[in-house]
Structure 1
């Protein structure tokens, strides 16, 4: 079910599952965004912030790899940097960065990023530096689907916002809404038809729902090696199922194909 080698035909992408403490107490919340219905991939779906890896992300990734003395590869650093950049652009949150960061600077950095779509000049302008230790590798999904106009090879990461006392706002181009929710509440909202989830997002929400706090999620992520998950169609039963690996940390590993949203 898995192919651990790079998928050259997949578009490299990255996304961050951002945790915060629930202001009212209780289960932690994660940040989700609803994609514009005009988007070719996952239009109208609720997903986590993220997007494709750009060429400049690879340039910054090479620098980060050299500075890490081999602790991280250039390719992995580039994906983490893409997740940081996309999160800042889509939500206004400056995660995975270090330096003097406040709401005013984050807002100005976001505006600059929206104009130029390059993180490097933002780091230089605000005297910030990358802090990739804030970004925790969690999963990698490559859902091959010949019906999709684009196929993404996406790495999922975790990050912790802590108190959550930070304003967020949608970019109103690729995304139309941002909202905080517990994983369990997101799944319940999907069952009620209030939001729509693609197959990988649903599976990751089910996995996140296992944890009572960010520390538990991080511990599991660090204990289970990231493997490329390639969903496969199982036609051995009465109805076709879409299946994934059974040993990658996910409590639910199959869904009826007829009910699974795959991004088209």
Structure 2
């Protein structure tokens, strides 16, 4: 049986995150860019996550300039913009543009973003054009845990190719950056070398199924992005946190006692 949600659940905060693929230098499974969050942060402090964060009002303003009239399309575009902005801010990596960017330009854009806080100003200053279609919708997670800060997070995938780029941690919200295969990150978590929250673990398990970015795109075509709200389910004496079994995830339940939610 499924436990019912409490009435004191706060409205979810819109957010976006970006799963950046690159071809591993030595071949094999693709590597993903991950950041370790500062242990001082309230949400997911000390955990390894994908780059991302809240969707700001300026992200919606920039999305409106792109001509989105439908509210769903506007929300999706704003989320993609937020994912691009947060990735630049947290890692120094420029994604989602129509043309490649060299390391010097990326450093300049990151410094400007730190000053102004709006991606639209950076794009104008650098004479860059967005390519939002370079981001592939992967999933949307919206927990409804009572008494906790909940985020309505849209996950996107993007392909960096060979991955010969310069990245650096921002030293504010995050303390460490690293590239790892999805299975490698899971192994690090199982060894206790990194911590992952429930959504990150489930998404890493799903991402570990893909041998390259093309396989990930094919999978998304079969299992389009959908809203996932984990539910606590009681089976006999055991309580588990569960997600739908038809959303493309190979593991859909975890005993509640071993779950790190945030």
TM range (shorter): over 0.9
Secondary structure at the aligned position of 1:187 is classed as helix
Indicate the larger mover: 82-91 or 93-102. Answer: 93-102
* Contact 2:37 2:48 (C-alpha < 8 Å) held by counterparts: yes
* Residues 100 and 34 of structure 1, relative CA distance in 2, 3 Å threshold: closer
Report the alpha carbon displacement of residue 73 of structure 1 after superposing the two structures with TM.
1.1
Root-mean-square deviation (CA), in Å?
1.6
Contact 1:99 1:127 in 2 (8 A): no
Q: Secondary structure at the match of 1:235?
A: strand
Alignment of 1:12-91 (within 5 A): 12-66=14-68, 73-91=73-91
CA apart distance, 1:124? 0.4
**Aligned-residue offset at 1:190:** 0.6
Q: Could you tell me how far apart the structure 1 residues matched to 2:37 and 2:59 are?
A: 23
Match of 1:120 in 2: 120
How many residues align? The count is 254
SS at structure 1 position matched to 2:59? helix
**Distance of 2:41 and 2:74 partners within structure 1:** 29
The answer to whether the Cα contact below 8 Å between 1:84 and 1:96 also exists between their aligned partners in 2 is yes
1:165: how far off?
A: 0.5
Instruction: Please name the residue that 1:159 is paired with.
Output: 158
Partner residue in 1 for 2:5: none
CA distance in 2, matches of 1:184, 1:115: 37
TM-score, length of structure 2 as denominator length: 0.93
**C-alpha distance after superposition, 1:115-165 (max 9, x if no partner):** 1110011000000011011100000001121242x2100000000000010
Paired residue for 2:105? 105
1:132-147 paired onto structure 2 within 5 Å: 132-147=132-147
Measured in 2, the distance between the counterparts of 1:173 and 1:215 equals: 34
The CA deviation at 1:189 is 0.8
Identify the residue that residue 257 of structure 2 maps to in structure 1. 258
Q: Deviations for 1:1-36, whole angstroms, at most 9, x for unmatched residues?
A: 9xxxxx981000000000000001111100000000
Partner in structure 1 of residue 233 of structure 2: 234
1:57-86 deviations in Å (ceiling 9; x for gaps): 0011112244xx87x811110000000000
Sort the Cα spacing of 1:225 and 1:99 in 2 relative to 1 into closer, same or farther, 3 A.
closer
The residue correspondences of 1:210-249 to structure 2 (distance < 5 A) are 210-249=209-248
Secondary structure in structure 1 of the residue aligned to 2:235: coil
Indicate the residue corresponding to 1:4 in structure 2: none
8 Å Cα contact 2:10-2:146 kept in structure 1: no
**Residues 135-214 of structure 1: pairs in structure 2 closer than 5 A:** 135-148=135-148, 150-214=149-213
Structure 2 residues without counterparts, runs of 5 or longer: 3-8
Q: 1:100 to 1:182 in 2, by over 3 A?
A: closer
